[in-house]
Structure 1
Amino acid sequence: MTNANQDIDQLITLCKAGNRSAQFEVYNRYYKPMYNTALRIVKDSHWAEDIMQEAFLKAFTKLESFKGEVTFGAWLKKIVLNHSLDNYKKINKNAMDALDDILYKVEDTGYAEDVTLDFQSVKIQEVMAALNSLKESYRIILTLLYIEGYDQEEICDILVISPGNCRTTISRAKESLLKKLNA
């Protein structure tokens, strides 16, 4: 176990005991990446700030359920991600209806051809702009896959979709992103 893991384990123990300075230290360590996670989903800085803070409150109240099976950061990120998606669905009801229609009605055609993107010649800003210009279902699924680093099984659990729908949506999202980058 590294010193950082030991240090966070000690902080978590103090947080469970209600130590406010330990909670503040945990917040300071994880604030920025959790804010960025929320921002990538909801695309609004004020909204992301609120979601991130609510997720921290939820995490601190549910700290007893943290068993250490994954890192604390991964556990917290899952809370932030789920809270972001839940809030996004509430506020963008119409957008999420369209997302649900696409995700639940996609035929499972098996594994689609893998679309390879040539990111060597594309700047990060161009990729992010193209990603943000995709329709919501594609933007969210590619954000979960490439930016947040979830695998397809985890994405299926997060979005409550079948593996076939996940594969097909990822394939179509990649194709759409490639077209935008080549345009």
Structure 2
Amino acid sequence: MNNSILFTHKELIEKSKLGDRKMQYKLYSLYVDAMFNVSIRIVKIKEDAEDIIQDSFTDAFRHLETFKYQSTFGSWLKRIVVNKSINYLKVKRIPLTAIEEHDYWISEPEEIEDNPLDISKIKDAINKLPHGYQTIINLYLIEGYDHNEIGDILEISVSTSKSQYHRAKKKLVELIS
């Protein structure tokens, strides 16, 4: 990764590590909206996402000394937000749709017509998916996690992540069509 990307906001981060509240607020201001969007896509409830964001920033600032510029600050913070959002769902016992390993078969990719789609139609269709499917779609397509990372985050196998994704994608295509 480009070093200039890794060191984005380095001065703000270093001063925040020293406890400078003004710099912490500037960092917060830079990232709060993006992190809220990450959380709301997972938990779906505005107030819960707001609470998760506050907890995430509190933890991030409390453990800022562990941030070593091995990734961007945004990526590091996003991982905290995603984990807290997923843990919130686990506490509320909102399950992923569980399937058995042997239920999953990879098929050839489906041909999808190249029609321009209305983004609001796609968002509406995602919101109509079962919650577990929404979680997988959001983590894979929107947040950009791979199936290994999703497996770690959700404490499921990689094959379960893949099967959930393929089933969610198939259902999403049905809803959009």
Query: Does the pair score TM above 0.5?
Result: yes
The structural deviation recorded for 1:106 is 4.0
Report which of the two has the higher share of helix: 1
User: Quick check: 2:6–2:71 contact (8 Å CA) kept in 1?
Assistant: no
Q: Secondary structure at the match of 2:19?
A: coil
Structure-1-length-normalised TM-score: 0.87
The structural deviation recorded for 1:137 is 1.2
Counterpart for residue 118 of structure 2: 123
Counterpart for residue 144 of structure 1: 139
Structure-2-length-normalised TM-score: 0.90
The structural deviation recorded for 1:20 is 0.3
Which 4+ stretches in 1 moved above 2 angstroms? Answer: 4-7, 105-121
**Identical columns (%):** 36
Structure 1 residues 34 and 175 mapped into 2: Cα distance closer, same or farther (>3 Å)?
same
Give the counterpart letter for 1:151 in structure 2.
D
Structure 1 residues 7 and 138 mapped into 2: Cα distance closer, same or farther (>3 Å)?
closer
Counterpart for residue 66 of structure 2: 65
Q: What root-mean-square deviation, in Å, do the aligned CA atoms of Structure 1 and Structure 2 show?
A: 1.9
Q: Which runs of 5+ in 1 are unaligned?
A: none
Counterpart for residue 159 of structure 1: 154
Count residues in correspondence: 175
Give the counterpart letter for 1:75 in structure 2.
W
The structural deviation recorded for 1:111 is 3.1
Describe how 1:5-20 pairs up with structure 2 within 5 A.
Answer: 6=7, 8-20=9-21
User: Quick check: 2:43–2:49 contact (8 Å CA) kept in 1?
Assistant: yes
The structural deviation recorded for 1:117 is 4.6
Describe how 1:15-94 pairs up with structure 2 within 5 A.
Answer: 15-91=16-92, 93=93
The structural deviation recorded for 1:173 is 0.8
Q: Distance in 2 between matches of 1:73 and 1:42?
A: 20
Q: Distance in 1 between matches of 2:133 and 2:114?
A: 18
Q: Which runs of 5+ in 2 are unaligned?
A: none
